[in-house]
Amino acid sequence: MRHFFTLVRHEIRLLFIAPPTYVASVLFILLMGFIYWAILRSMTLVPQDTSAITQFFSLFWLPVFFTVPLLTMRSIAEEKNQATLQTLFSAPVPKYAIVLSKFFAAYLLYLILWVLTLYFPLITFNLLSDNLSNASLVNASEIIGSLIFISLSGILFIAIGIFTSSLTRSQLVAGMLCFTFLFIICIGGQQLEYATYNYFAQGSFFFEGIQYVNVIRHFEDFSLGILDTRPFVFYLSISILLLSLTVNMIDSKA
Amino acid sequence: MDENISISVNNLSKNYGKVSAIKNADFQIKKGEIVGLLGPNGAGKSTTMRILGGLLRADSGSATVCGLSVADNSLAIKRKIGFMQENNPLPEDLRVMEYLKLRAELKEVDSKKLSTEVRRVMDLCDLFRTARRKIIRSLSKGFKQRVGIADALIGSPEIIILDEPTIGLDPHQIQGIRKLIDSLRGKYTVLISSHILSEIERNCDRVIIINHGRVVAMGTKPELSEEFIKENHLRLQVSGNIESLITRLKSAKEDYEIKEEQSEQNDYSTIVIKSTEALDISDYTEIVNQISHCQLKGINLIKPDLEAIFLAATKRSWEEIRIKS
């Protein structure tokens, strides 16, 4: 564990001196700010069934597509390219500690970015009158449910980024691979559910299976305050698998 | 297990696909020795070092470091070895001090002694005054090599492995690194790889010559010269009546070679006498003195250098491979 904390500190430092981190952060805050503003604007024009914060978090996949690749593409690909991973291996550090430290550093930054978005409803809450803001702007259960989902799904997304970064020496290729995987995970499940809606009976084994891998459906459950254990198993098991594969990847290329 | 042995390699083999990088390598290195691993490019030096450093697994055979099997104790042996890899990859964005502190933490240096230890290695490698706050990217190649060596020295490991520490350096930088390696003598067991023969000759107590993945020679310079250099050479520098001297050498059936002819620029000729038997300086001084109008300008026995030994050892190994195939 001693090595792990040392490496996490080191990785966070590397993330904070890396230009892609700032690009990802600025783009993320700008995009999410714009989305929140657009949601508020649409609420003033047309009455909405869902709260602003639920609508806001329901678009979680949009910033994920560029933030996660930008935060993770350097992590292993760059070290492989500069051969500094070999230097790291020459110290008495287990390989899983190296992978986990890269994962946790990127995950921490990912969470910080999402926590920063809470300023949007808080700012609006302070600016608008109480009766409006209480109900539709800051609903604690929706925020907590959404943030739990964001934190849980983030584990998988960052694990995908770390894994794709271990597949190549090129940051660019790693970023593109990460984007492709994330697209399949985020949009693929939903599209598969639409495509097979008329072919499988609702409640059948196949339909349940397709719903199980639909990330957007998971969000809907969490935002309603439904904490099902199945998504936890889904995200954590695939993340552990991907991180184990990453350890094997860097081990085999050592 | 002999406690005096730091590194022991037995029948070690490693293949990359069909290419054999190391084939049944066998050698031992005693505690406190500075040993040079010599070989042409692609001979298997770096592979051998990476296996010893626990970075690569051998296909067969065994290697032990400080009595510990490298295959079974890869983390434990990394605590005993300071390893500077070929091309010395360093994280370019960090400052020298930040990097060395990180390495000290990863090498499990006691947190209370961390700053002292980093200061010690920076002083040893002459980094503290000049480069401690510099970003690694901005350092010259020589200073980067110093950072790599400082990293290898952190935590005072028992063994230091330096893979091509002087590659790409200018003569001044090479001299600095040489002095640095000299300062390690007696404190650490050092294994250095290089194909710069003069470096190995100056720094090392013993040499291991490796070619095509095989250890083709091993020993001190006199031992190797005895094994591989069968001919003795004597250099004569003479002026005047050279023709008579050559006639005399021919009549005595001496094996000789004229290296330099007497000319307007050069007022003497250089003749090298070769013999499988011992050559006596006084015998040849007398021969020259007996010839009229022939003056002896200089005479000396040529000691074989490491280059001659290296060429002879690798030539022999190539011949052996050719015969086998």
Q: In terms of domains, do B156 and B29 share one?
A: yes
Q: In terms of domains, do B286 and B204 share one?
A: no
pTM of the full structure: 0.82
Q: In terms of domains, do B213 and B236 share one?
A: no
CATH number at residue B38: 3.40.50.300
Q: In terms of domains, do B144 and B248 share one?
A: no
Distance CA B278, CA B257 (A): 17
Neighbours of B255 (CB within 10 A): 12
Q: In terms of domains, do B269 and B234 share one?
A: yes
With CA atoms as reference, the chain B residue closest to A85 would be B89
Give residue B198's pLDDT: 75
Of A18, A86, A92, the CB nearest to B108: A92
CATH number at residue B292: 3.30.70.260
**Among candidate residues B162, B186, B221, the one where a domain is terminated:** B221
| ipTM score | 0.81
Q: In sequence order, which ranges of chain B are alpha helices (DSSP H)? A: 45-52, 74-78, 96-106, 114-124, 128-131, 141-153, 171-182, 197-203, 221-228, 242-251, 281-290, 306-324
Residue B223 corresponds to which tokens in the numbers above? 């031992």
Neighbours of B110 (CB within 10 A): 10
Query: For chain B, how many structural domains are there in total?
Result: 2
Q: Is residue B318 part of a domain?
A: no
State in Å, rounded, how far the first CA of chain A is from the last one. Answer: 22
Give residue A142's pLDDT: 82
Type of residue at A250:
I
Distances (CA, A) of A131 to A128, A138, B214: 9, 11, 84
Residues A192-225 have pLDDT tens digits of 888 877 777 777 777 778 878 888 888 888 877 7
Strand pairing of B68-69 and B81-84? Answer: unpaired
Q: In terms of domains, do B175 and B258 share one?
A: no
Residues 71-90 of A with CB under 8 A from B: 82-84, 86-90
Q: In terms of domains, do B137 and B251 share one?
A: no
Q: Is residue B165 part of a domain?
A: yes
Residue numbers in B near A91 (CB within 8 A): 78, 103, 106-107
Q: Is residue B316 part of a domain?
A: no
Give residue A246's pLDDT: 96
Q: Is residue B320 part of a domain?
A: no
Q: In terms of domains, do B199 and B257 share one?
A: no
With CA atoms as reference, the chain B residue closest to A94 would be B75
Residues 89-128 of A with CB under 8 A from B: 89-94
Q: Taking CB atoms and an 8 Å limit, are B92 and A93 in contact across chains?
A: no
Give residue A133's pLDDT: 55
**Among candidate residues B221, B248, B266, the one where a domain is terminated:** B221
Give residue A167's pLDDT: 94
| 3 state DSSP class of B81 | strand
Residue B168 corresponds to which tokens in the numbers above? 């790409």
B179: containing domain = 5-221
Give residue B171's pLDDT: 81
Q: In terms of domains, do B72 and B96 share one?
A: yes
Q: In terms of domains, do B126 and B238 share one?
A: no
For residues A240 and B16, the model is more confident at: A240
Q: In terms of domains, do B179 and B125 share one?
A: yes
**pLDDT, average across residues B146-153:** 91
Q: Is residue B309 part of a domain?
A: no
Q: Is residue B128 part of a domain?
A: yes
Residue B257 corresponds to which tokens in the numbers above? 């070679």
Q: Is residue B322 part of a domain?
A: no
Q: Is residue B63 part of a domain?
A: yes
Distance CA A72, CA A243 (A): 13
Residue B281 corresponds to which tokens in the numbers above? 């300086």
Residues B73-113 have pLDDT tens digits of 888 999 999 999 988 899 988 999 999 999 999 999 988 99
Asked if A1 is an interface residue toward chain B (Cβ–Cβ < 8 A), one would say no
Q: In terms of domains, do B182 and B258 share one?
A: no
Residues B23-59 have pLDDT tens digits of 888 999 999 899 999 888 888 899 999 999 988 889 9
Angstroms from B145 CA to nearest CA on chain A: 13
Q: What's the burial of B307, exposed, middle or buried (CB within 10 Å: 0-12/13-18/19+)?
A: exposed
